Amino acid sequence: MFEALTRKLTDVFRRLSGKGKLSEKDIDEALKEVRMALLEADVNFKVVKDFLGKVRERSIGAEVLESLTPAQQIIKIVAEELTATLGREPSRLTPAPQPPSVVMLVGLQGSGKTTTAAKLGHHLKRSGQTPLLVAADTRRPAAIEQLTVLGRQLNLPVYAEDPKNPPPEICARAIKQAIDTGAAWVIIDTQGRLHIDEELMKELAEVRARTHPSEVILVVDAMTGQDAVRIAEEFNRKVSLTGLIMTKMDGDARGGAALSIRSVTGVPIKYIGVGEKADALEPFHPDRLASRILGMGDMLTLIEKAQQAFDEKKVKELEKKMKTSGGFDLEDLLWQFKEIKKMGSLAQIAEMVPGMGRFASQIDGEAGEKMLKRFEAIIQSMTPEERRNPSIIGGSRRRRIARGSGTTPADVNQVLNQYQQVQKLTRFAARGKLPKNLAKMFGG
């Protein structure tokens, strides 16, 4: 996400940091570069103008110009104003006074409504809620089947009828079933069109009148740029949106839609889609996204992903082993590799690590996945004794492991070297300190 914008903003702030004291002219020159970067990222012109006006007004004050670290103060101001542009506070789903709460997903064909309905249901289920998915897109071929298959894969109930039945009636009967089965949320996958027309809006209005949703959420493709903003404005005028879900954010290198849409429409972004997997739907946090855009990472989201992916009991066992000398073995490293894969691609993980965002685009996702698979194959080709005590692996054992895993002895050496580095770090961590060069990386 925001690959080019992050790189350009990071370069601007690095040059500012090298100047020491700053003049008003220095600030204006830097903001001119920021302006170009935002416009090239396809951010709405009015949004750019308002944003830079606020940043400049705050940046030419004594707090910045007389500061010992003026560049840091400007970065802080930019981060705060970016957060404000994105919506300041996170916006969550609003439940109805009495269950079931209805979420009506609307949007054009191809925006990802059906997939998003399943992802949202999965997200609610993981948080302890009981969702019911409703297949109300009777126009698009295979839409009902697609939602039914996704529901089966994620173990989510799906209400579907004959596609010849009118969607408002299908939705009304779905609400009755939700009440009968005790579902807390009803997620309606409504019909879309290739364009906005009166027939579509009339049907959505009828569905809304029959279901009384607490949320009417537009699912919009982030990669369509300013078209996404125009679509959101039109839907908001016609059906009064309560929120937005932006899909394909992981494929949107510019980010103009995300940075413009809240400011232009006044409608909050509730979730962002960051991949194809069922768990690739993130609650939207304006401050965290601003931090990612500025290359500062997003450790809170990374921690949350780790908490979801990692088995808590296993983590505690691993912590205990790490505190004993030599207790961390290749079985543990193999488990870590598998858990890391659950958190997303290596590029997505790097994007959340402070200072690594600008390098995320240089990480070949496919190559990274192949490397993890190769590491797994090598460790799985070892005997239990070799995994517990890698020091016994000599030349003949390395050749046997390489043959068994379809790799080379050099690849086996790479895994063993990686293990030794991780083991060395765990020993330092167990003693409560890090090597000097690593301590500097983490601000120690």
In this structure, the chain runs to a length of: 444
**Predicted local distance difference test score (pLDDT) of residue 443:** 36
Share of the chain above pLDDT 90, in %: 42
- The answer to which of 73-77, 158-162, 241-245 has the lowest mean pLDDT is 73-77
Residue showing tokens 């951010």 = 43
**Predicted local distance difference test score (pLDDT) of residue 442:** 34
> What residue ranges define each of the domains in the chain, with the CATH number in brackets?
3-86 (1.20.120.140), 101-296 (3.40.50.300), 300-441 (1.10.260.30)
Query: Does pLDDT of 433 surpass 60?
Result: no
The confidence band for 322, taking pLDDT boundaries of 50, 70 and 90, is: low
**Predicted local distance difference test score (pLDDT) of residue 290:** 85
**Predicted local distance difference test score (pLDDT) of residue 46:** 93
Q: Write phi, then psi, for 250 (nearest 5 degrees).
A: -70, -20
**Predicted local distance difference test score (pLDDT) of residue 311:** 63
Distances (CA, A) of 320 to 188, 337, 391: 46, 19, 22
Q: Which residue has the higher pLDDT, 305 or 298?
A: 305
Tell me the pTM. Answer: 0.71
Six-digit token string for 351: 């994007």
**Predicted local distance difference test score (pLDDT) of residue 110:** 85
Under DSSP, the state recorded for 368 is H
Residues with Cβ within 8 Å of 223's Cβ and at least 6 positions away in sequence, in order, are: 248, 251, 252
**Predicted local distance difference test score (pLDDT) of residue 216:** 96
Distance CA 139, CA 320 (A): 56
Helix axes 45-59, 24-40, angle to 10 degrees: 160
pLDDT tens, position by position, 36-68: 999 998 899 999 999 999 999 988 876 676 776
The confidence band for 344, taking pLDDT boundaries of 50, 70 and 90, is: low
For residue 344, give the nearest of 279, 403, 389, 392 by alpha carbon. 279
Distance CA 51, CA 81 (A): 7
How high is the mean pLDDT of the chain? 82
Share of the chain above pLDDT 70, in %: 78
The confidence band for 441, taking pLDDT boundaries of 50, 70 and 90, is: very low
